[in-house]
């Protein structure tokens, strides 16, 4: 990719007298973001294009969007790669189309956050070993699935067949093994921890999260919310350095496959109303009530 040609200011329009009309800093930051969407400029090139020093741009961009320019670019590329792989694109073509110059660059640039190789991800988790079990909890049946790295999926409901179907849909080609959690030394403590969490007791549970840098910032912030307390989407956005990112925070919550352990039920709207929840608002309210009682 020709970096220089990608730095043309988007929608520049007719030339203006810059001495008479200074561009607000926030507009320069948005301009920088659009340039990152269009190409792969270095921090120095990006600063020159928008008229800010590299250090000032780095600081202001991170404060505005919650990610440095380099992190923003890595997230964009990873998102493009994930989408292409899920749509069935050839692995090599998906890598190059997403902006990775060679297959090895996918790991150098941090896209190993896929949690598995791009080929396995495209193949629906082929080659991954996932052990899972069902357990009764204080609020119903829970399916807990784990890789060797930790819990990779939690589903709640009353129909075991439906829960298993969701797991197989998420990892259609993984090696899935249902086990008796009471007899499995690895799965047993994780199943117990999830059950205790659903009962309103805070537990520390290893998880295997697959997401972008921004999503992981949100999930890390959720796990720091004290038991029984809530934060608004806006508060979480400010906490992670992206004060205008409330909508993106809500989207990260929606993409959380290990809800409860990563407690997106503790995030509410600014007016205190519950907002949304993947398993319905009655369950969200019940979880909060149990935590407050505990």
Active-site position among 142, 145, 174, 264: 264
- DSSP 8-state class, residue 268: E
The 3-state DSSP class for residue 164 equals: helix
Predicted local distance difference test score (pLDDT) of residue 90: 61
Most confident of 118-122, 174-178, 187-191: 174-178
Strand stretches in the chain, DSSP E: 129-137, 140-147, 150-157, 175-178, 231-232, 267-268
Q: 274 with 254: CB under 8 angstroms?
A: no
CATH number for the 213-293 domain, one of 1.10.10.10, 1.10.8.420, 3.40.50.720, 3.30.1540.10? 1.10.10.10
d(CA 88, CA 118): 11
Predicted local distance difference test score (pLDDT) of residue 233: 94
The 3-state DSSP class for residue 226 equals: coil
Mean pLDDT in residue range 97-106: 54
The 3-state DSSP class for residue 133 equals: strand
Q: What ranges do the domains of the chain cover?
A: 18-65, 70-122, 129-198, 213-293
pLDDT tens per residue, range 51-68:
999 998 988 887 777 667
Rg (CA), the chain: 22
36, burial (CB in 10 Å: exposed 0-12, middle 13-18, buried 19+): buried
User: Does position 234 have pLDDT exceeding 90, yes or no?
Assistant: yes
- pTM for this predicted structure: 0.52
∠ Cα 226 284 270 (to 5°): 70
d(CA 231, CA 229): 7
264 is annotated as an active-site residue: yes
Torsional sign, CA 250, 255, 256, 259: positive
CATH number of 129-198: 3.30.160.70
């Amino acid at each position: 990719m020709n970096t220089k040609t990608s730095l043309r200011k988007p929608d520049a329009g007719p030339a203006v007298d810059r001495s008479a009309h200074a561009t607000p800093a926030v507009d320069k930051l948005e301009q920088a973001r659009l340039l990152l969407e269009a190409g792969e400029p270095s921090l120095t090139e990006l600063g020159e294009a928008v008229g800010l020093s590299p250090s000032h741009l780095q600081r202001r961009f991170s404060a505005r969007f919650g990610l440095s320019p380099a992190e923003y670019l890595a997230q964009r590329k990873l998102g493009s790669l994930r989408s292409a792989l899920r749509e069935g694109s050839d692995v090599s073509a998906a890598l190059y189309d997403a902006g990775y110059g060679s297959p090895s660059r996918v790991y150098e640039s941090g896209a190993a956050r896929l949690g598995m190789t791009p080929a396995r991800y495209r193949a629906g988790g082929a080659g991954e070993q996932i052990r899972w079990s069902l357990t009764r909890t204080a609020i119903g049946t829970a399916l807990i699935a784990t890789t060797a790295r930790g819990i990779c999926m939690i589903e709640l409901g009353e129909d075991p067949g439906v829960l298993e179907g969701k797991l197989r849909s998420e990892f259609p080609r993984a090696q899935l093994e249902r086990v008796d959690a009471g007899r499995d030394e690895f799965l047993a403590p994780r199943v117990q921890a999830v059950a205790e969490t659903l009962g309103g007791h805070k537990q520390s549970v290893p998880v295997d999260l697959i997401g972008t840098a921004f999503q992981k910032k949100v999930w890390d912030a959720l796990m720091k919310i004290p038991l029984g307390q809530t934060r608004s989407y806006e508060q979480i956005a400010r906490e992670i350095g992206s004060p205008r990112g409330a909508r993106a925070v809500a989207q990260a919550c929606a993409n959380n496959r290990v809800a409860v352990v990563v407690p997106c039920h503790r995030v509410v709207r600014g007016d205190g109303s519950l907002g949304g929840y993947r398993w319905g608002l009655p369950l969200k309210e019940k979880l909060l009530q149990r935590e407050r009682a505990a």
